[in-house]
Amino acid sequence: MSHTPHRLEVKNISIGYGDKTILRDLSFQVPHGSRVAVVGPNGAGKSTLFKALVGLLPLQQGDIIIHGESLGTHKDCVAYVPQREEVDWRFPVTVDDVVMMGRFSQMGWFKRAKTYDKEMVQKSLAQMGIADLAGQSIGQLSGGQQQRAFLARAIAQEPHILLMDEPFTGVDITTQEATLRLLDHLQEQEVTAIVSTHDLNLAGSRFDLVLLLNHRLIAFGTPQEVFTKENLAQAFGNSLLVMDGGMMLVDECCPPDEEHHHHHTEAQ
Protein backbone atom coordinates (compact mmCIF):
# COMPACT_ATOMS: atom_id res chain seq x y z
CA MET A 1 0.00 0.00 0.00
CA SER A 2 1.60 3.28 -1.02
CA HIS A 3 1.35 6.11 1.49
CA THR A 4 0.22 9.54 0.45
CA PRO A 5 3.01 11.96 1.35
CA HIS A 6 0.66 13.88 3.63
CA ARG A 7 -1.13 11.86 6.21
CA LEU A 8 -3.26 14.82 7.26
CA GLU A 9 -4.53 17.71 5.15
CA VAL A 10 -6.65 20.50 6.59
CA LYS A 11 -8.30 22.57 3.88
CA ASN A 12 -9.93 25.93 4.65
CA ILE A 13 -11.72 24.73 7.75
CA SER A 14 -13.78 26.95 10.02
CA ILE A 15 -14.99 25.53 13.32
CA GLY A 16 -17.28 26.90 15.98
CA TYR A 17 -20.34 26.41 18.13
CA GLY A 18 -23.70 27.46 16.68
CA ASP A 19 -23.14 30.65 14.72
CA LYS A 20 -19.99 31.59 16.65
CA THR A 21 -16.76 30.82 14.76
CA ILE A 22 -13.72 30.00 16.93
CA LEU A 23 -11.22 29.08 14.19
CA ARG A 24 -11.49 30.62 10.77
CA ASP A 25 -10.20 29.47 7.41
CA LEU A 26 -7.42 27.18 8.59
CA SER A 27 -5.28 25.28 6.06
CA PHE A 28 -2.15 23.18 6.68
CA GLN A 29 -0.61 19.81 5.76
CA VAL A 30 1.17 17.53 8.18
CA PRO A 31 3.71 15.10 6.68
CA HIS A 32 3.56 11.45 7.70
CA GLY A 33 5.16 10.75 11.10
CA SER A 34 5.83 14.37 12.12
CA ARG A 35 5.72 15.87 15.58
CA VAL A 36 3.69 19.06 15.62
CA ALA A 37 3.40 21.45 18.57
CA VAL A 38 0.23 23.56 18.59
CA VAL A 39 0.79 26.86 20.40
CA GLY A 40 -1.17 30.04 20.91
CA PRO A 41 -2.76 32.04 23.72
CA ASN A 42 -5.45 30.64 25.97
CA GLY A 43 -8.78 30.55 24.16
CA ALA A 44 -7.07 30.68 20.72
CA GLY A 45 -8.92 27.56 19.52
CA LYS A 46 -6.38 24.79 20.18
CA SER A 47 -8.86 22.41 21.90
CA THR A 48 -11.48 23.30 19.28
CA LEU A 49 -9.08 22.21 16.53
CA PHE A 50 -8.41 18.87 18.26
CA LYS A 51 -12.11 18.16 18.69
CA ALA A 52 -12.67 18.81 15.00
CA LEU A 53 -9.70 16.60 14.00
CA VAL A 54 -11.17 13.69 15.94
CA GLY A 55 -14.69 14.27 14.61
CA LEU A 56 -16.28 15.56 17.85
CA LEU A 57 -17.12 18.97 16.38
CA PRO A 58 -18.68 19.47 12.95
CA LEU A 59 -16.91 21.80 10.51
CA GLN A 60 -18.67 25.01 9.50
CA GLN A 61 -16.72 24.84 6.24
CA GLY A 62 -13.76 23.09 4.63
CA ASP A 63 -12.39 19.53 4.72
CA ILE A 64 -10.15 17.33 6.84
CA ILE A 65 -8.45 14.69 4.70
CA ILE A 66 -6.59 11.70 6.18
CA HIS A 67 -4.78 9.30 3.84
CA GLY A 68 -6.51 11.01 0.91
CA GLU A 69 -10.02 10.39 2.28
CA SER A 70 -12.42 12.49 4.36
CA LEU A 71 -12.32 12.35 8.15
CA GLY A 72 -14.51 9.53 9.45
CA THR A 73 -13.52 6.99 6.78
CA HIS A 74 -10.73 5.61 8.97
CA LYS A 75 -12.37 4.98 12.30
CA ASP A 76 -9.31 4.16 14.36
CA CYS A 77 -6.86 6.37 12.62
CA VAL A 78 -6.98 9.24 15.11
CA ALA A 79 -6.60 8.90 18.89
CA TYR A 80 -7.32 11.82 21.19
CA VAL A 81 -6.13 12.55 24.72
CA PRO A 82 -8.21 15.45 26.07
CA GLN A 83 -7.14 17.90 28.77
CA ARG A 84 -7.37 16.25 32.16
CA GLU A 85 -9.94 18.70 33.49
CA GLU A 86 -12.35 17.69 30.72
CA VAL A 87 -12.67 14.16 32.12
CA ASP A 88 -15.04 13.15 34.92
CA TRP A 89 -12.66 11.14 37.08
CA ARG A 90 -15.43 9.89 39.41
CA PHE A 91 -16.53 7.40 36.78
CA PRO A 92 -16.01 3.98 38.43
CA VAL A 93 -13.68 2.18 36.03
CA THR A 94 -10.31 0.56 36.52
CA VAL A 95 -7.16 1.60 34.67
CA ASP A 96 -7.39 -1.68 32.74
CA ASP A 97 -10.95 -0.83 31.61
CA VAL A 98 -9.92 2.64 30.47
CA VAL A 99 -7.08 1.27 28.36
CA MET A 100 -9.27 -1.53 26.94
CA MET A 101 -11.60 1.23 25.65
CA GLY A 102 -8.84 1.99 23.14
CA ARG A 103 -9.49 -1.48 21.65
CA PHE A 104 -13.30 -1.23 21.43
CA SER A 105 -13.61 -0.05 17.87
CA GLN A 106 -11.39 -2.91 16.67
CA MET A 107 -13.32 -5.42 18.77
CA GLY A 108 -16.83 -4.05 18.32
CA TRP A 109 -18.62 -3.08 21.54
CA PHE A 110 -20.10 -6.46 22.45
CA LYS A 111 -17.32 -8.76 21.41
CA ARG A 112 -15.02 -10.33 23.93
CA ALA A 113 -11.46 -9.11 24.15
CA LYS A 114 -9.18 -11.46 22.26
CA THR A 115 -5.70 -12.38 23.41
CA TYR A 116 -4.21 -9.77 21.09
CA ASP A 117 -6.41 -7.02 22.57
CA LYS A 118 -5.33 -7.98 26.07
CA GLU A 119 -1.69 -8.05 25.00
CA MET A 120 -1.98 -4.57 23.47
CA VAL A 121 -3.47 -3.27 26.73
CA GLN A 122 -0.65 -4.83 28.77
CA LYS A 123 1.96 -3.48 26.41
CA SER A 124 0.46 0.03 26.51
CA LEU A 125 0.29 0.03 30.32
CA ALA A 126 3.90 -1.17 30.55
CA GLN A 127 5.04 1.43 28.05
CA MET A 128 3.58 4.22 30.20
CA GLY A 129 5.04 2.66 33.37
CA ILE A 130 1.68 1.93 35.03
CA ALA A 131 1.32 -1.86 34.63
CA ASP A 132 1.13 -2.20 38.43
CA LEU A 133 -1.92 0.12 38.56
CA ALA A 134 -4.08 -1.94 36.15
CA GLY A 135 -6.65 -2.97 38.78
CA GLN A 136 -6.95 0.41 40.48
CA SER A 137 -9.90 2.72 40.06
CA ILE A 138 -9.01 5.63 37.76
CA GLY A 139 -10.34 8.16 40.30
CA GLN A 140 -7.80 7.10 42.93
CA LEU A 141 -4.75 7.87 40.82
CA SER A 142 -2.65 11.03 40.87
CA GLY A 143 -3.08 13.49 38.00
CA GLY A 144 0.10 12.25 36.34
CA GLN A 145 -0.99 8.60 36.59
CA GLN A 146 -4.41 9.45 35.14
CA GLN A 147 -2.70 11.20 32.26
CA ARG A 148 -0.56 8.11 31.64
CA ALA A 149 -3.64 5.86 31.70
CA PHE A 150 -5.19 8.02 28.98
CA LEU A 151 -1.99 7.95 26.96
CA ALA A 152 -1.94 4.15 27.32
CA ARG A 153 -5.53 4.03 26.07
CA ALA A 154 -4.53 6.06 23.01
CA ILE A 155 -1.53 3.79 22.26
CA ALA A 156 -3.72 0.68 22.62
CA GLN A 157 -5.86 2.06 19.80
CA GLU A 158 -2.81 1.76 17.49
CA PRO A 159 -3.54 5.12 15.84
CA HIS A 160 -1.81 6.71 12.87
CA ILE A 161 -2.37 10.16 14.36
CA LEU A 162 -2.26 10.96 18.08
CA LEU A 163 -3.70 14.24 19.36
CA MET A 164 -2.75 15.35 22.88
CA ASP A 165 -4.29 18.46 24.39
CA GLU A 166 -2.00 20.07 27.00
CA PRO A 167 -0.35 16.83 28.23
CA PHE A 168 2.44 18.75 30.00
CA THR A 169 0.24 21.10 32.02
CA GLY A 170 0.22 20.50 35.75
CA VAL A 171 1.80 17.02 35.68
CA ASP A 172 4.89 15.87 37.55
CA ILE A 173 8.29 15.60 35.89
CA THR A 174 8.17 11.79 35.58
CA THR A 175 4.90 12.00 33.64
CA GLN A 176 6.32 14.76 31.50
CA GLU A 177 9.38 12.65 30.72
CA ALA A 178 7.26 9.53 30.07
CA THR A 179 5.20 11.59 27.62
CA LEU A 180 8.31 12.87 25.82
CA ARG A 181 9.66 9.29 25.61
CA LEU A 182 6.34 8.21 24.15
CA LEU A 183 6.69 10.92 21.49
CA ASP A 184 10.13 9.54 20.58
CA HIS A 185 8.70 6.03 20.36
CA LEU A 186 5.78 7.16 18.20
CA GLN A 187 8.13 8.89 15.82
CA GLU A 188 10.06 5.62 15.37
CA GLN A 189 6.72 3.97 14.53
CA GLU A 190 5.91 6.78 12.05
CA VAL A 191 2.88 7.86 14.05
CA THR A 192 2.02 11.54 13.62
CA ALA A 193 1.75 13.36 16.98
CA ILE A 194 -0.01 16.72 17.34
CA VAL A 195 0.40 18.19 20.82
CA SER A 196 -0.74 21.50 22.29
CA THR A 197 1.54 23.11 24.86
CA HIS A 198 2.04 26.44 26.60
CA ASP A 199 5.77 25.80 26.87
CA LEU A 200 7.40 27.51 23.89
CA ASN A 201 10.88 26.22 24.75
CA LEU A 202 9.57 22.68 24.71
CA ALA A 203 7.74 23.32 21.43
CA GLY A 204 10.94 24.71 19.92
CA SER A 205 13.29 22.00 21.16
CA ARG A 206 11.28 18.75 20.90
CA PHE A 207 9.02 19.21 17.86
CA ASP A 208 9.65 19.20 14.10
CA LEU A 209 6.87 21.63 13.27
CA VAL A 210 4.95 24.34 15.11
CA LEU A 211 1.38 25.44 14.40
CA LEU A 212 0.84 28.94 15.83
CA LEU A 213 -2.83 29.84 16.26
CA ASN A 214 -4.92 32.72 17.41
CA HIS A 215 -8.42 32.10 16.00
CA ARG A 216 -6.69 31.79 12.64
CA LEU A 217 -3.38 30.34 11.44
CA ILE A 218 -0.59 32.79 12.27
CA ALA A 219 2.25 30.52 11.08
CA PHE A 220 3.08 26.87 10.40
CA GLY A 221 6.57 25.51 9.81
CA THR A 222 9.78 24.67 11.64
CA PRO A 223 10.27 26.31 15.07
CA GLN A 224 12.87 28.64 13.48
CA GLU A 225 10.38 29.77 10.83
CA VAL A 226 7.46 30.18 13.21
CA PHE A 227 9.04 31.72 16.31
CA THR A 228 9.82 35.15 14.90
CA LYS A 229 9.12 38.28 16.95
CA GLU A 230 6.47 39.35 14.43
CA ASN A 231 4.58 36.04 14.53
CA LEU A 232 4.75 35.84 18.32
CA ALA A 233 3.53 39.43 18.67
CA GLN A 234 0.60 38.62 16.37
CA ALA A 235 -0.29 35.55 18.40
CA PHE A 236 0.30 36.73 21.94
CA GLY A 237 0.22 40.52 21.76
CA ASN A 238 1.85 42.06 24.79
CA SER A 239 1.94 38.93 26.92
CA LEU A 240 5.32 37.79 25.54
CA LEU A 241 8.83 38.64 26.66
CA VAL A 242 11.76 37.67 24.45
CA MET A 243 14.97 37.46 26.45
CA ASP A 244 18.48 36.64 25.23
CA GLY A 245 17.25 34.47 22.41
CA GLY A 246 15.15 32.44 24.88
CA MET A 247 11.42 32.97 25.07
CA MET A 248 9.41 33.43 28.18
CA LEU A 249 5.68 33.40 27.87
CA VAL A 250 3.71 35.60 30.19
CA ASP A 251 0.34 34.10 29.49
CA GLU A 252 -2.72 34.16 31.69
CA CYS A 253 -3.27 30.44 31.17
CA CYS A 254 -1.12 28.76 33.72
CA PRO A 255 -1.51 28.71 37.50
CA PRO A 256 1.71 29.94 39.18
CA ASP A 257 2.44 26.61 40.89
CA GLU A 258 3.21 25.15 37.51
CA GLU A 259 5.95 27.58 36.68
CA HIS A 260 8.62 25.53 38.43
CA HIS A 261 8.15 22.70 35.91
CA HIS A 262 9.24 24.80 33.01
CA HIS A 263 12.99 24.88 33.50
CA HIS A 264 13.07 21.08 33.29
CA THR A 265 11.81 21.01 29.75
CA GLU A 266 14.88 22.20 27.88
CA ALA A 267 16.12 19.77 25.25
CA GLN A 268 18.09 17.00 26.91
**14 CB contacts (<8 Å, ≥6 apart)?**
21, 23, 24, 25, 26, 59, 60, 61, 62
In 3D, which of 129, 81, 120, 80 has the Cα closest to residue 100?
120
pLDDT of residue 251: 47
Between CA 174 and CA 4 the distance in angstroms is: 36
Residues of the chain with pLDDT under 70: 1-6, 75, 106-111, 238-268
pLDDT of residue 227: 94
pLDDT of residue 266: 37
pLDDT of residue 262: 41
Between CA 15 and CA 253 the distance in angstroms is: 22
Between CA 80 and CA 194 the distance in angstroms is: 10
Q: What is the pTM of this model?
A: 0.85
pLDDT of residue 140: 92
Domain boundaries, the chain: 6-77+159-260, 91-157
CATH architecture of the domain covering 6-77+159-260: 3-Layer(aba) Sandwich (3.40)
Classify residue 32 by its DSSP letter. T
In 3D, which of 83, 52, 56, 79 has the Cα closest to residue 65?
52
Between CA 143 and CA 212 the distance in angstroms is: 27
pLDDT of residue 193: 97
pLDDT of residue 5: 57
